[in-house]
Amino acid sequence: MNNKVKITFLGGVGEIGKNMTAIEYENEIIVVDAGLTFPDDELPGIDIVIPDISYLLANKDKVKAILLTHGHEDHIGALPFVLEQLNVPVYGSRLTLALVENKMKEHPKVKFKGISVKPRNVLKLGNFTIEFIKVSHSIAGSLALCITTPAGNIVHTGDFKVDYEPIDGEMIDLPRLGEIGKRGVNLLLCESTNVCRKGFTMSEKSVGRALEEIIKSHLQNRIIVATFASNIHRLQQIMDLAEKYKRKVAFTGRSMINVSEVAYKLGELKYNRENIIDIEKVDKCDDKEILIITTGSQGEPMSALTRMAAGEFKQIKLRENDLIILSASPIPGNEKNVYNVINALYKLGADVIYDELADVHVSGHACQEELKLMHSLIKPKHFIPVHGEYRHLKVHKELAMTLGMEERNIVIPSLGMQVELSPNSIKQGGFVTAGQKLIDGIGIGDMDSNVLRERKQLAEEGICVVCVDINNVSGTVSSDPFIITRGVVYADEQESFVQDAKAAIIASLKEQDLRGMEPSVIKQSIRRNISNFIYRRTKRRPMILTIVTLD
């Protein structure tokens, strides 16, 4: 009997974000998460980046379901694009599915069948049996998975931390994790985001205590708190403090308004609706009566806080009596944007408190001691670190080895890698197509897209447009060439540059017999000559567009 299970890594390994893992046995595949990541400076104009699911599409008849660990974008953000091509049911907690449903409103033609599960629910999907386990994270409704397969039990932690003072009063289900460990676990897939940090992650309640101290010492200020919309437990603490200190609350930022409404309807966020005020009415209240909760803690260009800092937010004009609290730490890569916003807020006269000045944020991810606890409870035969860059996965491997795991029982995965798991062994298999798909408006492209190359060229080198009229009978240039450039030369050089470029084009065309010549050939000649001229003059190679008309 074949009892080998294949695990295929389509995202979330060797990188932060776009988490996606496929677990396969014979003719059945279940997929864990379908996340996105955001583009860096190398991807101009791209909206989001999602996993390449070519492998799943090639095996679409095998795919039985998508299992969601929680509702963060790096775990659910790719779903609309995946479900457009794979019509399968999606399982997750109530909040997770509600957030997905909210996303699906922007994709009305895509079929979405969400099936809600609770901690300790057990789901049977063919040869797979999945138990959902309550974990703590920076969003409510987070779940780990215990997947029973013919090759043994596989535990996937999802994102987690061990919070001994959870806001909702429900701790991570350590007893159940311990029971599963005693039953026997063949493979642990464990998140690695904070593996480089020693000790324990602070409790979410510590943020509430810090926020209360700040609010108590700024009773006369108007207070604006920027945080992640998805951090329902953070929102709950802010709402509770607003009520305690008799402040009306205004939500602003599309995701903040949407998520808070969804969480309220599900009972995950509890507050007195009479305490909510429309953002339009904020200016009619005294400063000491108002607390605004907003998006923009990461300095996102179009977010509410960033627009406030730029003086472009119609409803809120910042002033000296404003206190802004950034209850988040910059995601790696966002530091420049965040500090630009902080500087702009200071210039407007506002007071700003952020994570370097006070304990106004804690991570939702496990540090080393919590990861050790997870390993010790699960006691896996084999281990694969996931959810992290290569450095995270390497450090997590070393951490597991300090706990007694043998190196031969650990695999560090990479994108597209398939790992074969049998009851008594683990080994690296082959590789499948994997990587990035780029979402650009309504289009989907890939890394070697001509559009992307052209955008990079435009951004780095500029563009030069050349229009030339040719007399087809005499083979002469009928009038002065028309040249326009953008991003090629500075304004004070423009006039002389254009004149010299015209002269270079006319001189090169005079050396050729243009009578009866095809326009495409003339275009190619002009493009080559003007490109060489510009490079000699500027050491740049802009995009060249040539237009040739024949009289």
In DSSP notation, 454-519 reads: HHHHHHHH-EEEEEEEEETTTTEE-SPPEEEEESSS-HHHHHHHHHHHHHHHHHHHHTS--TT--H
Q: What is the DSSP letter of 196?
A: T
Q: By CB neighbour count within 10 A (0-12 exposed, 13-18 middle, 19+ buried), where does 262 fall?
A: buried
Range 5-199+363-445 has CATH code 3.60.15.10: yes
Closest among 150, 19, 130 to 64, alpha carbons compared: 130
CB of 31 closer than 8 Å to CB of 20: yes
Helix (H) or strand (E) holding 252: strand 248-252
**Percent helix / strand / coil, the chain, rounded to 5:** 35, 25, 40
Q: Give the class (CATH, top level) of 462-550.
A: alpha beta
pLDDT score of 448: 63
CB of 299 closer than 8 Å to CB of 340: yes
pLDDT score of 251: 96
Q: Which two tokens stand for residue 526?
A: 């002009």
**Phi, psi of 401, deg, nearest 5:** -70, -30
pLDDT score of 329: 87
CB of 100 closer than 8 Å to CB of 71: yes
For the chain, which residues make up each domain, given as ranges?
5-199+363-445, 204-353, 462-550
CATH architecture group of domain 204-353: 3-Layer(aba) Sandwich (3.40)
**Phi, psi of 123, deg, nearest 5:** -120, 135
Cα first-last separation, the chain: 78
pLDDT score of 507: 85
Each residue of 30-84: pLDDT tens digit?
999 999 988 877 777 778 899 999 999 999 999 999 999 999 999 999 999 999 9
pLDDT score of 334: 79
Q: What is the DSSP letter of 283?
A: G
Closest among 507, 460, 456 to 481, alpha carbons compared: 507
Distance CA 83, CA 60 (A): 11
Written as one letter, the residue type at 158 is G
pLDDT score of 444: 73
Query: Does the global pTM surpass 0.75?
Result: yes
Extract the residue ranges of the chain whose pLDDT is less than 70: 1, 442-443, 445-449
- Work out the angle at residue 59's Cα, subtended by the Cα atoms of residues 57 and 65, and round it to the nearest 5 degrees: 85
Q: Please list, residue by residue across 192-229, b when 16 or more beta carbons sit within 10 angstroms of its beta carbon and e when fewer do.
A: bbbbbbeebbbbbbbbbebbeebbeebeebbbbbbbbb
CB of 16 closer than 8 Å to CB of 332: yes
Helix (H) or strand (E) holding 544: strand 543-550
Distance CA 99, CA 231 (A): 12
Q: Which two tokens stand for residue 242?
A: 């607003």
Q: Where are the alpha helices (DSSP H) in 355-490?
A: 368-378, 390-402, 450-461
pLDDT score of 379: 97
pLDDT score of 332: 72
> From the CB of residue 34, how many other CB atoms can be counted at a distance below 10 Å?
30
Go through the chain and tell me how many residues it has.
551
Q: What is the DSSP letter of 108?
A: T
Cα-trace Rg, the chain: 29
